[in-house]
Structure 1
Amino acid sequence: MPASGRLQDWWRRRRRSDDRGDASIQMAIVYPFVLLAAIAVIQASMWYYARQIALTAAREGVTAARAYQAGPADGTARARQVLGRTAGDSLRSLSVSARSDGERVRVQVSGTTQSMIPGIEGLAITQSASGPVERWVPGP
């Protein structure tokens, strides 16, 4: 066998024996990034879900507050009722406010999401909805 052939065989054998443990090192480097990406996706999903809960409560509150002879207090009560049924642990530190200028009513729901990282407060969420106040107007 020529010298270059023996050198190539020696090099192949040496590389195979030196590769032991490479997979463990690669996983030790890659795994934290995969874990952070998974936590980020879960946290974003929790934020989106809590945002949808707040928006639903605000819309329901506006629907109740804009009804004929209803007021902002009716909207606040309805929004709190919806939050009591749906929010659970997804939305914390809730606050609901409603106001009306006689023409339009606006309900705002605020809170914070639950955090995946212990000791860190969740993201703040504020959603609002508005609509015209229904009133009776005599016909022509």
Structure 2
Amino acid sequence: MRDHGRLTDWWRGRRWADDRGDASIQMAIVYPFVLLAAIAVIQASMWYYARQIALTAAREGVTAARAYQAGPADGTARARQVLGRTAGDSLRSVSVSASSDGERVRVQVRGVAQSLLPGVPGLTITQSASGPAERWVEP
């Protein structure tokens, strides 16, 4: 009976010895996917934030450009002012354009969202807003 106990002890010891390193191998397989998912979530958040900055600048530009006796240049100036305050490094290579046909004003903001990975170009973002121009109309 005692020999059976030794055999069981040997088997238990052998089994635990064979399991050594399994956690390390599992982490080596799983960790890159976890890291990739975390980077993807952060990059998507940075892209979304840059889009919101561009949209806010375009909306502010339209608000300024559609005011009575204002023009597209006023909208461009206001959009650039908003970008100067809020964009920081989140939105790079920014260009602002505004146009008006006399009845509607449109402001477009283009830029590149910052990339989390060095050497990888960011995503191009284009946001625009438009609205009716305020004007005096004879009754």
Task: Provide the TM-score with structure 2 as the length reference.
Answer: 0.92
Equivalent residue, structure 2, for 1:123? 123
Equivalent residue, structure 1, for 2:64? 64
CA RMSD between the two structures: 1.9
Q: For residue 25 of structure 1, what is the amino acid of its counterpart?
A: I
Count of residue correspondences? 139
Give deviations 1:70-124, integer Å, cap 9, x for gaps: 1111100100000000000000000000011111110000000111110111111
1:75-114 correspondence to structure 2 within 5 Å: 75-114=75-114
Deviation at 1:32, TM superposition (A): 1.0
Runs of 4+ in 1 over 3 A off after TM superposition: 4-13
Identity of aligned residues (%): 87
Task: Provide the TM-score with structure 1 as the length reference.
Answer: 0.91
Q: For residue 126 of structure 1, what is the amino acid of its counterpart?
A: T
Gaps of 5+ in 2: none
> Partners in 1 of 2:46 and 2:82 — Cα distance?
18
1:50 aligns with 2:50: yes
Equivalent residue, structure 2, for 1:73? 73
> Partners in 1 of 2:52 and 2:60 — Cα distance?
12
> Partners in 1 of 2:45 and 2:7 — Cα distance?
56
> Partners in 2 of 1:128 and 1:8 — Cα distance?
74
